[in-house]
Chains A and B, each alone.
Chain A
Amino acid sequence: MSAFQQKQAVTQTPGGHAAPGGGLYARDRAWHPAALTPPYKTSVARSPVRAPISFSTTLSEETGPVFTQDMLGPLDADLIHNYAKSPEGAIGPRIVVQGRVLDEDGRGVPHSLVEVWQANAGGRYRHKKEGYLAPLDPDFGGCGRCITDEFGNYEFRTIQPGPYPWPNGPNDWRPAHIHFSVFGRSWGQRLITQMYFDGDPMIWHCPIVGTIPSREGIESLVARLDMEATIPMDARVYRFDIVLRGRRQTLFENRMEGL
């Protein structure tokens, strides 16, 4: 199959597949955490020793799974109510987390699945293997998901999670955080990260935050309070944008880039 035929074979679909263009921009591995970060102890035995092998992305990395709105339930993006037995919902500071999924060129990434999970207001996770002494909230599960709109916007309604202690050093605590899993439009954009809250002093004590090499990188994961957007007498709004890898616009489809 020639490169031209390959171009014909992949068409833009409503599911949001990118048409074939250039490869994805290379990941800046000096910007991301290294695999081996000894202050985060579990990384010591779970980090590859050998260098990863590079190649320019192929169709396998430039396509990705498609998720559609009909997969979602009406309360999937409302963590205050999606596990609640009572109409009032979960206990804790009521917040809305809203933002955009963008690529490195600043373009919104539409139809992208965003999944979140978090502890409750007391820092307790609802998980079989978790036994922190802070109580579970019978009205809070801690999972949510949504799909970005045509401009890449997303929004969750939840309660602000509490900080929580974990067995790493003798007295390590996670800052308040929400875990994010994002798909984008291609497999090579797949990303899991965490969102932190502006002004939380715990951010600067955390070995997991500390795996990020630069202060600028850490700051990019800190959501900002958006008072203008805040809904009076209901919920404060935190704004958190997520940036996924961008993609080259190729002029020469069959050039052997990087190979």
Chain B
Amino acid sequence: MQRIERLKESPSQTAGPYVHIGALPNFAGIDGVYDEDLGQRMVLGAVRGEQITLRGTVYDGTGAALRDAMVEIWQADAAGLYAGQDGADPAFTGWGRQAGDMETGAFAFETVKPGAVPFRDGRMQAPHVSVWIVARGINLGLQTRIYFADEQEANAADPILARIEHRDRISTLMARPEGDGTYRFDIRLQGEAETIFFDI
């Protein structure tokens, strides 16, 4: 019998409480090494589409806000194109990185509302933002998605949302419009209204 030789992925370890030193050193109080922390600016100029603010907080199983989490997002531009694809908006990076506030845990991304992106079979996915959360106590970065509560028609046709058995949990993936271009998306790691996480 022939053997299939593959390497094993490096096992994940927690980012720990000092993730900011490596990822957001200026935020951590380490000045002068990097001009600016990566991922702070997603909009680089005259961007196409609707500019929005995504606000939220990460909560643990006791309801306490995480004050040491780091959140990254990856999304398409307003036309549904990812940075690197032909025709993608050059004024939009698609990738953002923010730390939770050291006192309140609140984070915010200044971004644009993404356009729809095709699924593997050509059906369209509803507009969404991919989210990755790391922190002390999280052994493997948690993957989730932000959908938009005001995109009901697209959400109803989304091939991934359609697969979710417990329909009452879908609301945990919805960012809620708060007016003036702001959407709220809180993340609950555990317990009551636990956010849906994905194994992707």
Contact = CB atoms under 8 A, between A and B. Distances in A.
A63 interface: yes
A63 B85 CA distance: 9
Interface of A: 1-3, 5-6, 9-11, 13, 15, 17, 23-24, 26-29, 31-35, 37, 40-50, 52-61, 63-67, 71, 73, 75-76, 82-83, 102-106, 115-118, 125-130, 141-145, 179, 181, 187-188, 190-194, 208-209, 211-212, 216-218, 220-221, 242-246, 253-254, 256-257, 259
A76 B200 CA distance: 32
A220 B8 contact: yes
B16 to A, nearest CB: 6
Contacts of B138: 35, 43, 46-47
Minimum-distance CB pairs A-B, first 9: A117-B22, A42-B137, A65-B95, A46-B137, A33-B139, A52-B199, A17-B84, A117-B21, A45-B61
B33 A82 contact: yes
Contacts of B22: 115-117, 142-145, 179, 181
Given A46-B137, A143-B21, 12 more contacts: A31-B9, A33-B139, A43-B138, A46-B190, A57-B200, A59-B117, A66-B84, A115-B23, A181-B15, A188-B200, A217-B11, A254-B121
Contacts of A191: 9-10, 12, 141
A32 B18 contact: no
B198 A221 contact: no
A56 B28 contact: no
Nearest to B130: A60
Most chain A Cβ neighbours within 10 Å, of B32, B139, B169, B198: B139
B35 A73 contact: yes
11 contacts: A33-B11, A46-B138, A52-B199, A59-B82, A63-B85, A104-B6, A115-B23, A125-B21, A127-B28, A128-B102, A129-B18
Contact of A190 (B20, B94, B132): B132
Interface in B141-160: 141-143, 145, 159-160
Contacts of B11: 31-33, 193, 212, 217-218, 220-221
A47 B163 contact: no
Given A179-B19, A212-B11, A129 B102 contact: yes
A42 B84 contact: no
B25 A58 contact: no
Contacts of A28: 8-9
Interface string B177-190: 00000000000011
B9 to A, nearest CB: 5
B120 A3 contact: yes
Given A10-B85, A46-B135, A143-B33, A52 B197 contact: yes
B122 A254 contact: yes
A193 B30 contact: no
Given A220-B11, A243-B7, A130 B190 contact: no
A22 B41 CA distance: 31
A240 to B, nearest CB: 9
B140 A33 contact: yes
Nearest to A179: B22
B60 interface: yes
A193 B135 contact: no
Contacts of B68: 129
Contact of B60 (A45, A130, A145): A45
A15 B86 CA distance: 12
Contacts of A106: 5-7
Contacts of B111: none
Contacts of B18: 117, 125, 127, 129-130, 179
A201 B132 CA distance: 33
Contact of A27 (B6, B9, B117, B145): B9
B84 A53 contact: no
